[in-house]
Structure 1
Amino acid sequence: MTAARTDRTAGTFPDAELAYRAVSSRDPRFDGRVYVGVLSTGIYCRPSCPSRTPLPENCVFHASAAACVSAGFRACRRCRPDAQPGSRDWDLDADLAGRALRLLEQGVADDEGVAGLAARLAVSPRHLHRVLIAQLGASPADLARTRRAQVARMLVEETDLPLSHVAFAAGFRSVRQFNDVMRAHVGAPPSSLRAPRLPSVPAGPPAGARLDGSSLELRLRHRAPFDAGAWLAHVSARAVPGLEEVHGTVVRRVLPGRLGPVLAELDLTDGVVARLVLPSLDGLTSAVGRLRHWADLDADPARVDEVLGDDPFLAPLVAARPGLRVVGTVDAAELALRTVLGQQVSVAGARTLTARLVDALGEISPWGLRAFPTPAAVAAAGEDGLFALGLTRARAAALAGLAAALDGGLDLAPGADRERSRAALAALPGIGPWTVDYIALRALGDPDAFPAHDLVLRKVLGGVSPAEARGRAERWRPWRGYAAQHLWTSLIDRRGDSR
């Protein structure tokens, strides 16, 4: 037993009185923000657990599931706190802890180890360890193990994959490590989590397509409510023929993968169900992470709506669309390039220009859909090649410059240093404030980004200037990005057009 496990009474959540009120009232708004370890049973729960409320003296509160496991608690079998999305609190800050958590969610520690994670953050492993222990009560290794355990539990419960395949798909190095970690998390072997069920038919490639790999279906957990209609309306309005397909409540497209393309379907008919065809299970966690970012499934709608609903102007919009998500992306580079294509044109115009780029430079996948062109392919086309697709000379130059920067290492993914990425974007020719803010919102995943120069936002706010729009938005912090999504969506509801 490690030193961290020798004292379970030292919690990492700073306000024990607030935390116990949440537990005693079974308040679901605190799920993912605080976890309660019960000293008398040795388990940890989320605040809304339906079990009998423990006595205050038997409770210790932690800021993360990993901290609970590090302190020696195992997950409750009723409320399953290890299966819940994590807190978005750390997404609000561009600090070291926030960036580390976002990179952990992308599986960086699985691929590169803790040393590789620290190198990405330009700090030593020792310093990173100190910061995460101080902020979350768990080390980078603890957090990485907890993430693997969450992925493994999802696969055990929702697929028929052999447990050995589950272990390696979740990022474990061995079956023994998988068994040890799962026992620490749930107090039982992984096989105990697999309940008998009727066989299901996994998604697969259409007739005639061949791909050596794996097909599976997963239900992606998230906090309710989730406004699926608004998300589908946004994606449908921008769906590029040959790149994306939308059929009712199902969206189908190709994702980039380290080992090859991945076919993905998101079905929003009943919850959020992902159907994937992968060249290897090694790419599963990355594919799921991309889909979660696209649909903003780690959002905490109760917290967002609580802040925005207090504003008289936004209150009716929030009431009309509870659980509205900020539409993200499956690939940060793609989002950035599409944003430049959409500068100063309508949504329909941006879709037309994107379709030309995809037809010219996107590779055909085994399923007939094209993959979005890589930054290297766009950069290789050059300004003249892009101009030949019908872009203006200025837009072609801006797109070529951005593609070259992305190919050269410009990082716009959620784990990037947001301030550094914003500054690098702003320094590129043809990239203005609107483009920087829009990319920060949808690619970098900054929930407080607010494109104050957006003409639609300014119109909905009464024709104000960018400075006035920014001033109005100050009271919406730290969720200004969600406020922008509400304003855009309100225009969709009125006339069917938006950003």
Structure 2
Amino acid sequence: MRNGMHTDVERCVRAVQSKDARFDGWVYTAVLTTRIYCRPSCPVVPPKPENMTFYPSAAACQQAGFRACKRCRPDTSPGSPEWNQRADLVARAMRLVADGIVDREGVPGLARRLGYSTRQIERHLLAELGAGPLALARAQRAQTARLLIETTALPMAEIAFAAGFASIRTFNDTVREVYALSPSDLRERAAKRSGTPPVPAGDSSGTPGVLALRLPFRAPLNPDNLFGHLAATAVPGVEEWRDGAYRRTLRLPYGHGIVGLTPAPDHIACRLTLSDLRDLPVAISRCRRMLDLDADPVAVDDQLRTDPVLAPLIDKAPGRRVPRTVDEAEFAVRAVLGQQVSTAAARTHAARLVTAHGEPVDDPEGGLTHIFPSPEALADLDPESLAMPRTRRTTFTTLVRHLADGTLHLGVDSDWEQTRAELLALPGFGPWTVDVIGMRALGDPDAFLPTDLGIRRAAQELGLPSTPAALTARAAAWRPWRAYAVQYLWATDSHPINFLPV
């Protein structure tokens, strides 16, 4: 674990001198002589060690008066894995900042969601990240603005609004301060670098509101189980696999969207259609979270490889990610629908709910028809309309009622252990349902499924203990990455969720 790595100067210097891309997003190098900050893998000649200082976030670099490097574009690094693997206050705050809460609700809204005072939030973030919530949100706005400036021909006033700036003047001043270029110069430089003009108010086909992006990740990444799982469990109308891309609809704060995600060797190609461009940073954040793109696969695999049973699985296909979700409440509903039935049956149940209660959307480029229904839309349905046993109907209706009235909250800011306890208190929620929600909705990297049939079959085949208690005891050595061990164990089966569709 590299928590607080920026304080280990010797280690940071070695990372910069070796141009080690594994540390991108973990730490940022600020050069005292040029007042520029870079990612460790920056291709330029490394500065002298005495001219380097290190920060834990791009926002901290900007707050200290450093400008982003024009070569390595450090503000576009993969996010720090710290916010995926931790459940403390700072990690929960960072996940909320990435989800746009500060822009929509301000620092008081962030503090209210976390149950702390604004002063406590400020103090904790400053102590660990060198920047408060406003500075972190400002850095995200600057990155969103740069993305829109460089990839579209939208007027600058529209970009300023979409990126979350309160005024054109603030937008212009921030871009100049962070990138040492005016917005117009930034667009002109990007056009010269790519050799093509910016896309006019859409993509190359002229579709309004469409953006083509590249989502970076830390190598290695094995796309088989990641996209295979999402495609095999796709709910008709909400998700589909089409032309080598996983596509789905998105419920967003200001509107809705459709995203297409295609795996490539060094990035994930992301095609976003948004009804409101203000949702861009949130949509990107949720897609990255769903694909687990901010994970540190080297740290995960190194830990799991110490088990001689897992080592051959990892050596065969390293870099497995945990397929997650863009909507925590949606996943919890689908987890209940999937209790004690096949994947196909779970998809059928979900598709009926979508057709009856989902919000219709237009998809000129594919076959998506609806946004998955919200808990509020499901709270008033007739339980007798559910083609499932009575006990599971009770489980379903209790869950959606608690989600709709706010008694149960599932989100990026959820406290993992507290939420587990609340779920276990609901009728029909056993360890498997709670742990699969913990793994895929809450994002707990240590969630484990010892009662899962696929895991028990894999354990028996590999010579691991196959009873839940004994397997849990053996898996203690895999902590805190047991959710990733689950992916490697699932991969020993021939189930279609483990393979990319053809």
Q: CA deviation at 1:467?
A: 2.0
Task: Report the equivalent of 2:373.
Answer: 373
- Is contact 1:12–1:137 with CA below 8 Å preserved after alignment? no
Task: Report the equivalent of 1:215.
Answer: 210
Task: Report the equivalent of 1:471.
Answer: 473
Q: CA deviation at 1:269?
A: 5.5
Task: Report the equivalent of 2:300.
Answer: 304
Q: Does 1:70 align with 2:63?
A: yes
Q: CA deviation at 1:186?
A: 1.9
Residue 267 of structure 1 aligns to a residue whose secondary structure is strand
Instruction: Extract structure 1 runs of 4+ deviating beyond 4 A.
Output: 198-207
Task: Report the equivalent of 1:395.
Answer: 392
Task: Report the equivalent of 1:160.
Answer: 153
Letter in 1 for 2:438: A
Residue 296 of structure 1 aligns to a residue whose secondary structure is coil
CA distance in 1, matches of 2:495, 2:437: 25
Task: Report the equivalent of 1:51.
Answer: 44
Q: Does 1:316 align with 2:309?
A: no
Q: Does 1:405 align with 2:402?
A: yes
Q: CA deviation at 1:214?
A: 2.5
CA distance in 1, matches of 2:436, 2:205: 34
Task: Report the equivalent of 1:227.
Answer: 222
What per-residue deviation string (whole Å, max 9, x for no partner) do you get for residues 203-236 of structure 1? 69999xxxxx723222223223332333221122
CA 1:339 to 1:190, structure 2 compared with 1: closer, same or farther past 3 Å?
same
**In percent, how many aligned pairs have the same letter?**
49
- Is contact 2:216–2:293 with CA below 8 Å preserved after alignment? yes
Q: CA deviation at 1:312?
A: 1.9
Task: Report the equivalent of 2:263.
Answer: 268
CA distance in 2, matches of 1:332, 1:249: 25
CA 1:274 to 1:74, structure 2 compared with 1: closer, same or farther past 3 Å?
same
- Is contact 2:5–2:12 with CA below 8 Å preserved after alignment? no
CA distance in 1, matches of 2:150, 2:475: 43
Residue 273 of structure 2 aligns to a residue whose secondary structure is strand
CA 1:259 to 1:90, structure 2 compared with 1: closer, same or farther past 3 Å?
closer
Q: CA deviation at 1:336?
A: 0.5
CA distance in 2, matches of 1:478, 1:385: 42
Q: TM-score, normalised by structure 1?
A: 0.90
CA distance in 1, matches of 2:488, 2:437: 17
The counterpart of 2:327, out of the listed 326, 331, 348, is 331
What per-residue deviation string (whole Å, max 9, x for no partner) do you get for residues 2-53 of structure 1? xxxxxxxxx9822111111111211111111111111121111111112112
- Is contact 1:106–1:289 with CA below 8 Å preserved after alignment? yes
Q: CA deviation at 1:187?
A: 2.1
- Is contact 1:305–1:323 with CA below 8 Å preserved after alignment? yes
Deviates more, 1:143-152 or 1:105-114: 143-152
Residue 413 of structure 2 aligns to a residue whose secondary structure is coil
Residue 428 of structure 1 aligns to a residue whose secondary structure is coil
CA distance in 2, matches of 1:149, 1:189: 12
CA distance in 2, matches of 1:110, 1:244: 29
Task: Report the equivalent of 1:6.
Answer: none
Q: CA deviation at 1:495?
A: 4.5
The counterpart of 2:167, out of the listed 167, 171, 174, is 174
- Is contact 2:230–2:497 with CA below 8 Å preserved after alignment? no
CA distance in 1, matches of 2:454, 2:205: 40
- Is contact 1:250–1:269 with CA below 8 Å preserved after alignment? no
Counterparts of 1:34-113 in structure 2 under 5 Å? Answer: 34-113=27-106
CA 1:312 to 1:185, structure 2 compared with 1: closer, same or farther past 3 Å?
farther
Higher relative contact order, chain-length normalized (CA < 8 Å, sep 6+): 2
The counterpart of 2:337, out of the listed 338, 341, 356, is 341
- Is contact 1:148–1:172 with CA below 8 Å preserved after alignment? yes
CA 1:338 to 1:178, structure 2 compared with 1: closer, same or farther past 3 Å?
same
The counterpart of 2:244, out of the listed 249, 252, 261, is 249
Task: Report the equivalent of 2:485.
Answer: 483
- Is contact 1:244–1:369 with CA below 8 Å preserved after alignment? no
Q: TM-score, normalised by structure 2?
A: 0.89
What per-residue deviation string (whole Å, max 9, x for no partner) do you get for residues 229-253 of structure 1? 3322112211222222212311222
CA distance in 1, matches of 2:455, 2:427: 24
Task: Report the equivalent of 1:5.
Answer: none
Q: What root-mean-square deviation, in Å, do the aligned CA atoms of Structure 1 and Structure 2 show? A: 2.4
Aligned length: 479
Task: Report the equivalent of 2:412.
Answer: 414
Unaligned runs of at least 5 residues, structure 2: none
Residue 446 of structure 2 aligns to a residue whose secondary structure is coil
CA distance in 2, matches of 1:277, 1:90: 27
CA distance in 1, matches of 2:498, 2:379: 29
CA 1:199 to 1:173, structure 2 compared with 1: closer, same or farther past 3 Å?
closer
